[in-house]
Structure 1
């Protein structure tokens, strides 16, 4: 077992770069990257860092030189032989050769493109521009770097014994959560915590604790490097990025209304089974389901990622029933702002009505709340999103207007096209 406190205390060790592999990323990123490589290879996309928690002034906390050093290191990374063998030869979701030889040849030669970084009003403006398959792979490592550098800054003045006590308390806190989760019958839960983790070493420890504490109830991790190293299932499907870019490329309102379904039509050609999971909330779940083509009712399930999760699940259940499907055979994955209490509540409410699963993120891999004074280690909402495609702004509406993004005029247009009315605001914690 790694002595995390000692490694943090000796943080200058070159053994601990924040991102140590191109597959130190979420599995859905690689799946989406292959889809983009196949269908939209030449699309030019801009990604940008967005700090939703404005009171956290990252540029005042994180040293620019250290940030550049970590980002520059990521640009030197390439797939190792073992990583390539794992991707080419492993079975994912019951499918061998998930990644095509053409995609793997491209990925093995890839180095991530340049970045642009500057400070503005206490925040970092960090952007990535270029071909979509290349720049999309910056999202997860960029977030991981900023989150861990912020953690390192908070821990910088702590002595070795103080760090030992801190991590012992954090381990105890997580283990107490695991003990509560053990009592949930037929639980299915996975680690979704890469993007806002406290650190790589801490995420790796959390995954090992979940595996030992929950056994078969722990279905795997979204982090590909940890999945490979710990012989676990790599978990993930697709994300809002796909419909956001497809929508931005739409030539008129008719094409815009069709874009979220065009995304899934392309996905349908490539994947089956548990990879056919609908993420319906990019432009409002209710409207998406109302206008969804009948072939989508055959998909395996739905991921609920914004708004009131119970309301979202009820919408999905009613939709399946209205289309002649048995919801008890469908999968609902909850993945937004989860902690133990919410997991217990949602499982109790929906078990037996649907197949219930959870993707547990930030409050699994970065819950140090109350363990140091102030909010120096408290999680916050940091994202890195596609903000433009071929020069046109992207838009996300979400089921929670607090997560909406894009130019105001375009947001209003998208609301009109997708029939989005009044929405309930929900505080975004992580």
Structure 2
């Protein structure tokens, strides 16, 4: 199989956004990550696992080019000190442990410094996806169905049947293939000026394709940020994870790069810490689990209670979106608050067969168990049920007493 990841820029922007703060403030942190396949009917054969290993080895041979580093430095919140670090940085295959010892036929565990392991998640998932779909199906048939569906979607944006406002592509980790994602990005970029009404394609989380097609690279923080900063220090009460994470972010970026993720330990607990200072400094918030309409109304009410005009803030929706769902959310919220969308699998892997539902999540930080307690049951991940129970009790106590 041809090499799947061909540039270290082929990663989501939030990995660089988080990476800079990790480099400046948490360079000694160590993390463990685990792969999880949520599909119950998916099995990775031994041949697939061997190909995944070979592809990750090829990825680990890559280095940043000077041209790529110059591009990163042109992003206004990325600093020269971090870019200089990336000049020396390289992935380490020794940080990966890949086996067939799982019900789905594949385990991937990465261990090492947070600086390293954070960067592996997205390329590893992209590799797993492409290997699986190329080896489990007739890929050419899948690719034709992908192109057909993409064309149909684009027609809906052109003729005004759907209106989304500003949207970006977030599909690198679950794409059908590198070729499929690039075709989608190129088509949407070409179509951008021809879309109906307010609909506008802004950019992509894939930094490599953002550079190639002169689009805006999009992405701030992920769940790992709140989990590790808030739960990886033995002195921290994990129910205050969001405060520690937001505080470190503001120290690094001030008012730049400010979209806060709300649902790592439930949005209700997040709002305890997202008070006037942070709600003012951050330009908006991102939705990734729970009912999006209830969440949006909750955030608007929160801003109003703080005396902040919601129309000066942005709700970024990114949870399992398609164009139809985004259209409904846009029509519901657009007159109340600024709205934007990050749409992933529906753009990069919409074919005649179901997409994989795979993740890699942080399970330990500095030897401590860490957990995500999502607004949607089943979206959380923790390797130690006792720690998850402890974290839930900490959150419950805070919600009742703070």
Asked if these proteins are the same fold (TM beyond 0.5), I'd say: yes
In structure 1, runs of 5+ residues without a counterpart are 1-11, 371-376, 422-430
Structure 2 CA distance for aligned equivalents of residues 278 and 104 of structure 1: 23
Residues 284 and 420, structure 1, Cα contact 8 Å, conserved in 2 = no
Equivalences for 1:192-211 in 2 at 5 Å? 192-211=170-189
**How far is the alpha carbon of 1:294 from its aligned partner?**
2.1
User: Aligned residues, how many?
Assistant: 387
Residues 4 and 178, structure 2, Cα contact 8 Å, conserved in 1 = yes
- CA 1:99/1:329 → structure 2, altered by over 3 Å: closer, same or farther? closer
Structure 2 CA distance for aligned equivalents of residues 104 and 344 of structure 1: 38
Farther off after superposition, 311-320 or 291-300: 291-300
- CA 1:62/1:207 → structure 2, altered by over 3 Å: closer, same or farther? farther
Farther off after superposition, 125-134 or 267-276: 267-276
State the match for 1:187 in structure 2: 165
1:410 pairs with 2:396: no
**How far is the alpha carbon of 1:130 from its aligned partner?**
0.7
Structure 1 CA distance for aligned equivalents of residues 115 and 233 of structure 2: 19
**How far is the alpha carbon of 1:198 from its aligned partner?**
0.5
What TM-score do you get using the length of structure 2 for normalisation? Answer: 0.91
SS at match of 1:401: coil
Structure 2 CA distance for aligned equivalents of residues 338 and 122 of structure 1: 26
**How far is the alpha carbon of 1:61 from its aligned partner?**
7.2
Structure 1 CA distance for aligned equivalents of residues 240 and 180 of structure 2: 42
What TM-score do you get using the length of structure 1 for normalisation? Answer: 0.85
Structure 1 CA distance for aligned equivalents of residues 81 and 189 of structure 2: 34
SS at match of 2:107: strand
**How far is the alpha carbon of 1:412 from its aligned partner?**
1.7
- CA 1:218/1:81 → structure 2, altered by over 3 Å: closer, same or farther? same
Equivalences for 1:28-427 in 2 at 5 Å? 28-58=14-44, 60=45, 63-88=48-73, 90=74, 92=75, 95=76, 98-113=77-92, 114=94, 115-120=96-101, 121-155=103-137, 163=140, 166-182=142-158, 183=160, 184=162, 187-215=165-193, 217-251=200-234, 255-273=237-255, 275-298=257-280, 299-368=282-351, 370=352, 377-406=353-382, 407-419=384-396
Structure 1 CA distance for aligned equivalents of residues 47 and 308 of structure 2: 51
Structure 2 CA distance for aligned equivalents of residues 290 and 331 of structure 1: 19
Structure 2 CA distance for aligned equivalents of residues 28 and 292 of structure 1: 20
- CA 1:306/1:336 → structure 2, altered by over 3 Å: closer, same or farther? same
In structure 2, runs of 5+ residues without a counterpart are 194-198
SS at match of 1:54: coil
Deviation sequence 1:255-281 (CA, Å, 0-9, x none): 322221111111112225562111110
